[in-house]
Amino acid sequence: MELKLSKKITKPDFQGEFTASILAAAASPDIISFAGGLPNPVSFPVEEMDAAVHKVMQEKGAVALQYSNTQGYQPLRAWIAKRYEVLGVNDVVADDIIITNGSQQALEMVGAALIDPGDKILVENPTYLVALQSFHLFDPEVIPVQINPDGIDCDKLQAAIDANPEAKFIYVIPNFQNPTGLTYSREVRERAAEIFKNSNLLVLEDNPYSELRFAGEGGKSFGYYLGEQCCMFGTFSKIVSPGMRIGWICCRNKELKAKLLSYKSTADLHTNIFCQMVLAQYLAAYDLDQHIEKTKVLYKQKAEFMMDCMRKYLPEGVTFTPTEGGMFLWAELPDGITAVDLYRAGLKRGVAICPGDPFYEYERNVRTFRINYSNSTDEAIETGMKVLGEVCSELMAK
């Protein structure tokens, strides 16, 4: 018997295994892990959700256990539409929202709906590795555009669009980007919005982290500047619970919305209706802002403690960009040491970081790496950073 299990993927080194091995190693209980991207479970509203489950089962149990519609539970979509006012987008209605199985499903859905093999798409460089992996399932040519500490490099963006006028979309994460933690400044947002307006690009804005801002002031969504040219992804994973797997796409372009719904109805019919109803009940009964406030206090303390420890324990030459929110810090090693060197040596000493490599389309053996601070105790942060500092010094002395 010879099973034919191969499938052509143009980018075979796409690091699925590398990423899986990092996450597996990092999940071991003996490892202090700054490699993953988990919210802190202390922030989960367990009792409130318990009450919401009971209420849904008592009042609408049969609906919650039945098949449902593809677009998602209307009260939940209405709640999300209203929430867009926080981002300066006031004209979103429930009908623009499609509930997805986490925002990760949104990435796959747009890939399936839009990418033909060989199509050009633009992304930030670096960008969220799962977005790269999802898009690569459909064999695009990915064109990375550099991001700077104040957001996407607008000169390079314009040059990339000029050189690739046929590109279909750009995928951006303007707030506390994963992996870099960077946020677009107002100037960059406005300039990039002008550039997009003058292009034929659909703008896919992924925004899991903007509500986790614990200092400074946030900016407006590209949806504010661009209307239906911008499709916005969101998620409850970082502000309520990742396990419920509830995300969404806000799509104001009717043609694209129909394509996305058609794909989703084939892929999974609908997102778990029980979870959608429980979440909608939770949002109706409790003040989400109060809940997010508590999470922000926790993450601010974690971020500041992590940054203090990095300043204290990492040797001179290792740099990082401070952050005002989200869950990640982005650091860079001096010339001559790669992030994979640090990952391997750190792991031997029981501490995991996430090397930058899988977040880049082309670059390998990079010196940048990602540090997650949301899900470690202070003790683990201090011990882990001390060890990483020693490991960096040893690698630098070689």
Q: Closest CB to ligand PLP among 124 and 341?
A: 124
| From 34, 128, 184, 263, residue interacting with ligand PLP (rule: CB under 6 A) | 128
Question: Considering the complex, what minimum distance in angstroms separates the CB of residue 109 from ligand PLP?
Answer: 12
Binding flags for ligand PLP, 232-261, as an x/- string (CB under 6 A): ---x-x----x----x--------------
Q: Closest CB to ligand PLP among 173 and 339?
A: 173
Question: Considering the complex, what minimum distance in angstroms separates the CB of residue 1 from ligand PLP?
Answer: 37
Cα distance between residue 87 and residue 80, in whole Å:
11
Determine if 208 is a binding residue for ligand PLP (CB under 6 A).
Answer: yes
Binding flags for ligand PLP, 343-372, as an x/- string (CB under 6 A): ------------------------------
Give the 3-state secondary structure of the chain: CCCCCCCCCCCCCCCHHHHHHHHHHHHCCCCEECCCCCCCHHHCCHHHHHHHHHHHHHHHHHHHCCCCCCCCCHHHHHHHHHHHHHHCCCCCCHHHEEEEEHHHHHHHHHHHHHCCCCCEEEEEECCCHHHHHHHHCCCCEEEEEEEECCEECHHHHHHHHHHCCCCCEEEECCCCCCCCCCCCCHHHHHHHHHHHHCCCCEEEEECCCHHHECCCCCCCCHHHHHHHHEEEEEECCCCCCCCCCEEEEECCCHHHHHHHHHHHHHHCCCCCHHHHHHHHHHHHHCCHHHHHHHHHHHHHHHHHHHHHHHHHHCCCCCEEECCCECCEEEEECCCCCCHHHHHHHHHHCCEECEECHHHCCCCCCCCEEEEECCCCCHHHHHHHHHHHHHHHHHHHHC
Q: Closest CB to ligand PLP among 192 and 314?
A: 192
Q: Which residue is nearest to ligand PLP (CB)?
A: 102
Question: Considering the complex, what minimum distance in angstroms separates the CB of residue 245 from ligand PLP?
Answer: 7
Q: Closest CB to ligand PLP among 173 and 195?
A: 173
Determine if 152 is a binding residue for ligand PLP (CB under 6 A).
Answer: no
Question: Considering the complex, what minimum distance in angstroms separates the CB of residue 210 from ligand PLP?
Answer: 11
Choose the binding region for ligand PLP from 86-94, 99-107, 223-231, 382-390 (rule: CB under 6 A).
Answer: 99-107
| From 15, 19, 37, 339, residue interacting with ligand PLP (rule: CB under 6 A) | 37
Cα distance between residue 338 and residue 50, in whole Å:
46
- Which residue matches tokens 């590398």? 18
Please name the amino acid found at residue 267: A
Q: Closest CB to ligand PLP among 43 and 178?
A: 178
Question: Considering the complex, what minimum distance in angstroms separates the CB of residue 359 from ligand PLP?
Answer: 11
Determine if 206 is a binding residue for ligand PLP (CB under 6 A).
Answer: yes
Beta bridge partners of 369: 331, 355
Choose the binding region for ligand PLP from 58-66, 101-109, 256-264, 292-300 (rule: CB under 6 A).
Answer: 101-109
Determine if 108 is a binding residue for ligand PLP (CB under 6 A).
Answer: no
Dihedral sign computed on CA atoms, order 46, 47, 48, 53: positive
Identify whether the C-beta of residue 100 lies closer than 8 Å to the C-beta of residue 247: yes
Q: Closest CB to ligand PLP among 19 and 178?
A: 178
| From 103, 199, 295, 323, residue interacting with ligand PLP (rule: CB under 6 A) | 103
Determine if 102 is a binding residue for ligand PLP (CB under 6 A).
Answer: yes
Q: Closest CB to ligand PLP among 122 and 173?
A: 173
Binding flags for ligand PLP, 164-183, as an x/- string (CB under 6 A): ---------x----x-----
Return the biggest CA–CA distance within the chain: 67
Question: Considering the complex, what minimum distance in angstroms separates the CB of residue 122 from ligand PLP?
Answer: 16
Question: Considering the complex, what minimum distance in angstroms separates the CB of residue 206 from ligand PLP?
Answer: 5
Cα distance between residue 320 and residue 322, in whole Å:
6
Total of residues contacting ligand PLP (CB under 6 A): 13
Residue ranges binding ligand PLP (CB under 6 A):
37, 102-104, 128, 173, 178, 206, 208, 235, 237, 242, 247
